[in-house]
Copies of this chain bind each other. A is one copy, B any other.
Amino acid sequence: MAKEIVYTQRVEFGDCDPARIVWFPNFFRWIDAASRHFFIECGVPPWHETEKTLGVIGTPLVDTHARFIKTASYGDTLQIRVSIAEWRGKSFVQRYRVTKGEELLMECEEIRIFAGRREGGGIFAMPIPDAIRQRCE
């Protein structure tokens, strides 16, 4: 079984748009935070430390696919379940289920990389660092 963590997110007034529902880019803000918390809760140090030890500056997104099923509004509290569905050579698939109580609001599946900084600017995909993968499985 893959490790799973739960990230909890309040929905605030300012997260909602004139239709009174969460403006969708905010779901991606929360998913990105949930992604990072997955690594933190698995015991991976913060990126400003891994930059020095492993050269990893973060896990930028390569591809994301999300389905929006139900809306949320301010006052709601959301649970975001995060796991890693697949490890590839230089990328991994991270999966999210956003629920409000029993209701599924949104599902998302991402491809991310462990990024190193390239000389002269820009970033590149590193092979999955063993030290990180072992903590996350």
Contacts and interface: CB of A to CB of B under 8 A. Distances in A.
Contacts of A14: 17, 23, 25, 29, 32-33
Interface string A1-36: 000000000101110111111011110110011001
Contact of A67 (B21, B63, B74): B63
A68 B1 CA distance: 29
A54 interface: no
Given A14-B29, A25-B28, A36-B12, A19 B115 contact: yes
Copies in the complex: 4
Task: Tell me whether chain A's interface is mostly helix, strand or loop, or mixed.
Answer: mixed
A98 to B, nearest CB: 14
A18 B13 CA distance: 7
26 contacts: A12-B29, A12-B33, A13-B17, A13-B33, A13-B36, A16-B17, A17-B18, A17-B58, A18-B18, A18-B47, A18-B48, A18-B74, A19-B57, A19-B60, A19-B115, A19-B123, A23-B32, A24-B32, A25-B25, A25-B29, A36-B74, A46-B74, A62-B67, A63-B65, A64-B64, A64-B66
